[in-house]
Amino acid sequence: MTQLTLTYFDTHGGRGEPARLALHIGGIAFEDKRFAFAEFAEVRKATPFGQVPTLHVDGVVVTQSDAITRYAGKLAGLYPTDAYQALLCDEVLDAVEDANIKLGTTFGLTGEALKEARTALVNGPLPLYLGWLQKQLQAHGGEYFADNRLTVADLKVFVFVRGLTSGRLDHVPTDLVAQVAPLVNAQVQRIAQLPAVVQYYAKFAAK
């Protein structure tokens, strides 16, 4: 049996969360190695690029969050086997990652600089990506982004939208997604009620 250790921040969100969810939903055994933000400076020394998540597969360290998410999806049966459906899945993964990168540039800013940067995102890039996601969802039946079933594309969007609506991102309105992409917002709420997802979050204290 393959030994898996996924290392990421002790938080309900971010780039490591879609893989965690996929592995849990698929019933794949793995060590969920979490660490506090204060420990990151030390943890990153043992990573290839000074970043997380990392996945140890039988002791071999693998980096790159979307590669890890796809692998977790394949193990869990949450990644398409059809080449075209896999392409659609990957398209969503990469688009959300682009949005994550844009949002990530605002972390570390404070005061007016943070307000200005986040407001610029809210007035431009975030609605652009959310609107595109809504169109993709509509184009593929309105429930899932690919393969007419739950895939890691849906989980990546789920984690991204939960972050946007959490209230933890200053200057990002918590109703942005509901206003710009109501179908995506509704899909995220449906995923949140899946028994395996409810069970996953029930294991942790609210964060």
* 183 part of a folded domain: yes
**129 and 53 assigned to the same domain:** no
3-state secondary structure of 165: coil
Q: What amino acid is encoded at 147 in this protein?
A: D
**117 and 181 assigned to the same domain:** yes
**112 and 73 assigned to the same domain:** no
Whether the predicted pLDDT of 205 surpasses 70? no
Whether the CB-CB separation of 23 and 8 falls below 8 Å is answered with no
Q: How does strand 54-57 pair with strand 60-62? A: antiparallel
Q: What is the DSSP letter of 44?
A: G
Per residue in 49-86, pLDDT tens? 999 999 999 999 999 999 999 999 999 999 999 999 99
| Final residue in a domain of this structure, among 77, 98, 116 | 77
| Final residue in a domain of this structure, among 77, 105, 139 | 77
Residue that is written with structure tokens 């991204």 in the block: 160
Q: pLDDT at position 207, please?
A: 46
Q: pLDDT at position 7, please?
A: 98
Domain that holds residue 171: 83-194
Per residue in 50-59, pLDDT tens? 999 999 999 9
**159 and 104 assigned to the same domain:** yes
Report how many domains make up the chain: 2
Burial 173-184 (b: 16+ CB within 10 A, else e): eeebbbebbeeb
**72 and 88 assigned to the same domain:** no
Q: pLDDT at position 204, please?
A: 83
Per residue in 135-176, pLDDT tens? 999 999 999 999 999 999 999 999 999 999 999 999 999 999
